[in-house]
A and B are shown apart, each in its own frame.
Chain A
Amino acid sequence: MTTTEPSPEAVEEERPIGFGRLLRKEDPRLIRGMGKFVDDIQLPGMLHLAILRSPMAHARIVSIDTSAAQALPKVVAVITGADLAEKGLAWMPTLSNDVQAVLATDKVRFQHQEVAFVVAEDRYSARDALELIDVEYERLDPVIDVRTALDADVPVIRDDLEGKTDNHIFDWETGDEAATDAVFDSADVVVSEEIIYPRVHPAPMETCGCIADFERVAGKLTLWCTSQAPHAHRTVYALVTGLPEHKIRLIAPDIGGGFGNKVPIYPGYVCAIVASLVIGKPVKWMEDRTENLVSTGFARDYVMKADIAATKEGKILAVRTDVLADHGAFNGVAAPVKYPAGFFGVFTGSYDLEAAYAKMTAVYTNKAPGGVAYACSFRITEAVYLVERIVDCLAYELGMDPAELRLKNLLKPEQFPYSTKTGWVYDSGNYEPALRKAMEMAGYDELRREQAEKRERGELMGIGVSFFTEAVGAGPRKDMDILGLGMADGCELRIHPTGKAVIRLSVKSQGQGHETTFAQIVAEEIGIPPEDIEVLEGDTDNTPFGLGTYGSRSTPVSGAAAALVTRKVRDKAQIIASGMLEVSVADLEWNKGSFSVKGDPSKSVTIQDIAMRAHGAGDLPEGIEGGLEAQICYNPENLTYPFGAYICVVDVDPGTAVVKVRRFIAVDDCGTQINPMIIEGQVHGGLTDGVGMATMQMIAFDEDGNCLSGSLMDYLIPTALEVPDWETGYTVTPSPHHPIGAKGIGESATVGSPPAVVNAIVDALKPYGVRHADMPLTPSRVWEAMQGNHTPPI
């Protein structure tokens, strides 16, 4: 079932008991400057850590002299890779079962790699001391161009790996190659294009950092950390340091944005832990903006050869791709083990195909590690960009309207659950109403008329369409784990005697508003007002185990856990109510906050009455223990598949090639909506990312491997001036397997919007015969495309 309008109650009711536009509980402290971010925490005797980074992309370390730095007043310690190697801590595991240097011992493998660190009494002195460390490097040729990384004569980056003789990481494939080739061989129309998704960086406003505090007497490490995945990180730190897991407490306080940048384990965290273990005092490490941009988890960096086959009438038959993936110097991608390319396998998009095939090769280069980040839903950004761009190329060749071509090929509602040609089972969808709604909101036909008139006058106006399907909520433990940790989420709910509640979660908000939405889920299920429900997360000593917040998984996984644990508590409450009302359980009905006797509503007890009874004196029904609480671990049976239809309108100045995004219409379907206000906010943010990636953002390198995007003056992200007022709408197609029908929304707009913007710009350039142009479409790159000499960005 799909509804295209919100229920009146959801819109009207300002302070609902359950779902609806509830203002956020976390706002007051953050608006007053009373939030508690990692760098806000000051501990008595705390020391400060700063990291020395390599100026070269590829070099052998000949010698390191730390004596002058050691002699600087206020410096407590200077540690090199050799010092760490003595403790067996120079290398650490990555989330992809590779290893990464904590501090370089033999070679540096990317510019700005960690080489040494200083611990000092204040942050300025620590930085001063970095200047006094003398490192002699022997330059090695860097491998920068991903296309030549596998050539026979290039240097081997990872000679630390035994027997490694090339820069190859893995090959991966999905789909049926022979069947796909057969469809292509007999198709009327085949269109091919090389499509590049350049390297970008999430750049959350708060950079990464931590405070490590090892108490020697208790033998316990407390780590305040910018972590999106507190429990998974605690396990990794136990493995890295050898400290027993119960002696590590990880606290993720307020987090100033994550977008996947705070999922990997970074050397800085490990350095701070080691420093505190050695020195016995709390040690703070906060990277600066440059360090964040040049060394922490980047995103994308895919070179994709794409082919699409269709009939001459525009029925899409098959999609095929061959991808070259740049993973940087260490394979640090965060993705389920069985999915080295993340969920790129959903590159078949929202269309009914006869066949599909993808193959991929991942390689090492002398660049910072990463790859899966920036609201990508495990590489679905790349997949959606690929299919939505190549579908537009097909529309160009067929001379068809791109919206018309999509409408002709979208999956039909009766095809769900739909098994794709690459093995994914889309849970529910009703695509055409979403696209029709977006077209109606945009005034699509009128826009096309306006465009035709403007083209007559030599003005460049473009209209871009994209339709995406995401796969979020990793994931079923039979298929998905990270470093052997299954991706199920624990959750615990306790109702206090007076009917107030606390829910403990394994996930961790970085701005998503969990304190509000999870209180709403509990409220919806048990009728306790959201303001009476405390949401606790981000503290491993006080929350159950689970894998954290990324890949839009909080609502699909922990949201389901929250609903189910609340139902479990409600079931117990019903038994207690039956004793209080002296009727059988079956004779009670639930009225969102109270049980009453069927047919006699005057006989009822509220959840608050029941809570007091559960904790009070007197008998409870036979076999029922006191207290009103429950804990579960939710293992999702499938991913959820949100979708959406986006339309972007741009104007391109023919004289300067400056692109102005005039309008953007986004219709999203994330199933049941918990808080439409928060959903819209997340969509707004993601759309801004899309404009940023499409028109300005890229982490670039020169041929020596120098990172050219190490500041916010060089790595441009959109300001309020570059984006329009966003026009959002939605349809609601609940997930059939999620207990409340919700699907996850956090990354939809970042995934779906880049192709809409690029399609719009390319559409604007149609008079110049442009069929494809690669991001970032800066004025100079748009100008090149207009002159017919557009070159790839890498």
Chain B
Amino acid sequence: MQVDVKVNGAPESHDVEPRTLLVHYLRDHCGLTGTNVGCDSSSCGACTVHLDGEAVKSCTIFAVQVDGRSVTTIEGMAAADGTMHPMQEAFHTNHGLQCGYCTPGMVMAATSLLEEIPDATEAQVREGLEGNLCRCTGYHNIVKSVLACAKGSEK
């Protein structure tokens, strides 16, 4: 069936099986492979994207459910001129990633978290990222990256 989604501001329209997961719609049909699959069961958060501005795990939502809606993926976070989003920049300067597999999902979850709680504390960041697993960083520098973007942090 035809599924129309605005992805990173641009219209996408693809004829897909009704059971197609959003993450596969994005990866296999839109060619946006920045969103990764880590567990297929919404445990790990690697596939986190923004749906109408809110973080969702794209491995447990069907593409048809987002027909007519707006999705932002990691590829849509940088500015039009290529400048990285402040959260992306913070992950770089705070060494918030190692293998980089969980990173797109982390960045999407973290930006959504700060949208909700702009002046998040360390405890709120840790709680807010509980649904996103990382096996390399021990979370230390991820938390540091997010706190660097929180309101009231010293820039």
Partner of A205, one of B19, B127, B130, B134: B134
C-alpha spacing A437/B125, complex, angstroms: 30
Instruction: Say whether, besides A685-B137, A711-B43, A27 and B75 are in contact (CB < 8 Å).
Output: no
Is B95 interfacial (CB-CB < 8 Å)? yes
**Majority DSSP secondary structure for residues of B touching A:** loop
Is A81 interfacial (CB-CB < 8 Å)? no
Instruction: Give the distance to chain A from B8, nearest Cβ to Cβ, in Å.
Output: 10
Is A44 interfacial (CB-CB < 8 Å)? no
Q: Which residue of B lies closest to A125 (CB)?
A: B17
C-alpha spacing A686/B126, complex, angstroms: 18
Are B39 and A256 within 8 A (Cβ)? no
- Residue numbers in B under 8 Å from A713 (CB-CB): 41, 43
Are A26 and B129 within 8 A (Cβ)? no
C-alpha spacing A447/B122, complex, angstroms: 24
Q: Which residue of A lies closest to B74 (CB)?
A: A33
Are A205 and B138 within 8 A (Cβ)? no
C-alpha spacing A721/B122, complex, angstroms: 10
- Residue numbers in A under 8 Å from B39 (CB-CB): 288-289, 711-712
C-alpha spacing A228/B31, complex, angstroms: 27
Q: Which residue of A lies closest to B35 (CB)?
A: A33
Is A579 interfacial (CB-CB < 8 Å)? no
Q: Which residue of A lies closest to B144 (CB)?
A: A725
- Residue numbers in B under 8 Å from A36 (CB-CB): 33
Stretch at the interface among B50-58, B63-71, B85-93: B85-93
C-alpha spacing A207/B46, complex, angstroms: 12
Chain A residues with a Cβ closer than 8 Å to the other chain, count: 58
- Residue numbers in A under 8 Å from B74 (CB-CB): 31-33
Q: Which residue of B lies closest to A258 (CB)?
A: B99
Q: Which residue of B lies closest to A35 (CB)?
A: B100
Stretch at the interface among A329-337, A345-353, A506-514: A506-514
C-alpha spacing A717/B137, complex, angstroms: 13
Chain B residues with a Cβ closer than 8 Å to the other chain, count: 59
Are B102 and A205 within 8 A (Cβ)? yes
Instruction: Say whether, besides A26-B100, A681-B141, A288 and B133 are in contact (CB < 8 Å).
Output: no
- Residue numbers in B under 8 Å from A141 (CB-CB): none
Are B34 and A32 within 8 A (Cβ)? yes
Are B133 and A681 within 8 A (Cβ)? no
C-alpha spacing A257/B100, complex, angstroms: 8
Is B150 interfacial (CB-CB < 8 Å)? no
Instruction: Say whether, besides A40-B33, A203-B135, A720 and B100 are in contact (CB < 8 Å).
Output: no
Is B84 interfacial (CB-CB < 8 Å)? yes
Are A259 and B135 within 8 A (Cβ)? yes
**What number of A-B contacts does a CB cutoff of 8 Å give?**
180
Interface flags, A270-286, vs B, CB<8A=1, else 0: 00000000000000000
- Residue numbers in A under 8 Å from B20 (CB-CB): 124
C-alpha spacing A682/B95, complex, angstroms: 11
Instruction: Give the distance to chain B from A490, nearest Cβ to Cβ, in Å.
Output: 24
C-alpha spacing A720/B113, complex, angstroms: 14
Q: Which residue of B lies closest to A678 (CB)?
A: B95
C-alpha spacing A24/B100, complex, angstroms: 12
A677, A713, A721 — which one has the most chain B CB atoms within 10 A of its CB?
A721
Is B139 interfacial (CB-CB < 8 Å)? yes
Is B73 interfacial (CB-CB < 8 Å)? yes
Is A723 interfacial (CB-CB < 8 Å)? yes
Which residues in window 382-417 of A have CB below 8 A to B? Answer: none
- Residue numbers in B under 8 Å from A510 (CB-CB): 99
Is A452 interfacial (CB-CB < 8 Å)? no
Instruction: Say whether, besides A124-B19, A205-B44, A511-B98, A726 and B33 are in contact (CB < 8 Å).
Output: no
Is B14 interfacial (CB-CB < 8 Å)? no
Is A424 interfacial (CB-CB < 8 Å)? no
Are A30 and B95 within 8 A (Cβ)? no
- Residue numbers in B under 8 Å from A513 (CB-CB): 98
Is B37 interfacial (CB-CB < 8 Å)? yes
Is B62 interfacial (CB-CB < 8 Å)? no
C-alpha spacing A120/B41, complex, angstroms: 23
Is B117 interfacial (CB-CB < 8 Å)? no
Partner of A687, one of B27, B73, B138, B142: B138
- Residue numbers in A under 8 Å from B27 (CB-CB): 39-40
- Residue numbers in A under 8 Å from B88 (CB-CB): 31-32
C-alpha spacing A39/B46, complex, angstroms: 14
Instruction: Give the distance to chain A from B61, nearest Cβ to Cβ, in Å.
Output: 16
C-alpha spacing A42/B135, complex, angstroms: 26
Are B99 and A257 within 8 A (Cβ)? yes
Partner of B32, one of A33, A259, A686: A33
A204, A683, A712 — which one has the most chain B CB atoms within 10 A of its CB?
A712
Are B141 and A31 within 8 A (Cβ)? no
Instruction: Say whether, besides A511-B98, A681-B98, A721-B126, A28 and B35 are in contact (CB < 8 Å).
Output: no
Instruction: Say whether, besides A32-B34, A37-B101, A723 and B139 are in contact (CB < 8 Å).
Output: yes
C-alpha spacing A40/B88, complex, angstroms: 21
Is A688 interfacial (CB-CB < 8 Å)? yes
Are B100 and A30 within 8 A (Cβ)? yes
Q: Which residue of B lies closest to A27 (CB)?
A: B92
- Residue numbers in B under 8 Å from A685 (CB-CB): 98, 135-138
Partner of A206, one of B38, B75, B77: B38
Is B5 interfacial (CB-CB < 8 Å)? no
C-alpha spacing A30/B34, complex, angstroms: 8
Partner of B136, one of A33, A124, A681: A681
Are B32 and A205 within 8 A (Cβ)? no
Are A32 and B99 within 8 A (Cβ)? no
Q: Which residue of A lies closest to B123 (CB)?
A: A721
Is A178 interfacial (CB-CB < 8 Å)? no
C-alpha spacing A26/B32, complex, angstroms: 19
Interface flags, A1-38, vs B, CB<8A=1, else 0: 00000000000000000000001101110111111110
Are A205 and B84 within 8 A (Cβ)? no
C-alpha spacing A289/B59, complex, angstroms: 12
Are A721 and B130 within 8 A (Cβ)? yes
C-alpha spacing A723/B127, complex, angstroms: 11
Are A712 and B43 within 8 A (Cβ)? yes
Is A684 interfacial (CB-CB < 8 Å)? yes
- Residue numbers in B under 8 Å from A37 (CB-CB): 33, 36, 101
Are B38 and A289 within 8 A (Cβ)? yes
Is B103 interfacial (CB-CB < 8 Å)? yes
Is B149 interfacial (CB-CB < 8 Å)? no
- Residue numbers in B under 8 Å from A471 (CB-CB): none
A259, A289, A677, A680 — which one has the most chain B CB atoms within 10 A of its CB?
A289
Are B139 and A33 within 8 A (Cβ)? no
Instruction: Give the distance to chain A from B120, nearest Cβ to Cβ, in Å.
Output: 12
- Residue numbers in A under 8 Å from B139 (CB-CB): 684, 688, 718-720, 723
Are A720 and B130 within 8 A (Cβ)? yes
- Residue numbers in B under 8 Å from A723 (CB-CB): 138-140
Partner of A204, one of B73, B127, B135, B141: B135
A23, A31, A36 — which one has the most chain B CB atoms within 10 A of its CB?
A31
Instruction: Give the distance to chain B from A104, nearest Cβ to Cβ, in Å.
Output: 25
Are B34 and A34 within 8 A (Cβ)? yes
Is A254 interfacial (CB-CB < 8 Å)? yes
A32-B77, A719-B130 known; 5 other A-B pairs, CB under 8 Å? A30-B99, A205-B46, A681-B95, A689-B135, A725-B122
Q: Please give me the 5 A-B residue pairs with the lowest Cβ-Cβ distance, nearest first.
A: A33-B34, A30-B100, A511-B99, A256-B101, A684-B138
Q: Pick 18 A–B contacts, CB within 8 A, sort by A.
A: A23-B92, A30-B103, A31-B74, A31-B100, A32-B74, A34-B75, A40-B33, A124-B20, A205-B99, A256-B99, A289-B38, A684-B140, A685-B135, A688-B139, A712-B39, A718-B139, A720-B142, A723-B138
Q: State the A residues within 8 Å of B (CB).
A: 23-24, 26-28, 30-37, 39-40, 42, 123-124, 202-207, 254-257, 259, 288-289, 510-513, 677-678, 680-689, 711-713, 717-721, 723, 725-726
Q: State the B residues within 8 Å of A (CB).
A: 17, 19-20, 24, 27-28, 31-41, 43-44, 46, 73-75, 77-78, 84, 88, 91-93, 95, 97-104, 107, 122, 125-127, 129-143
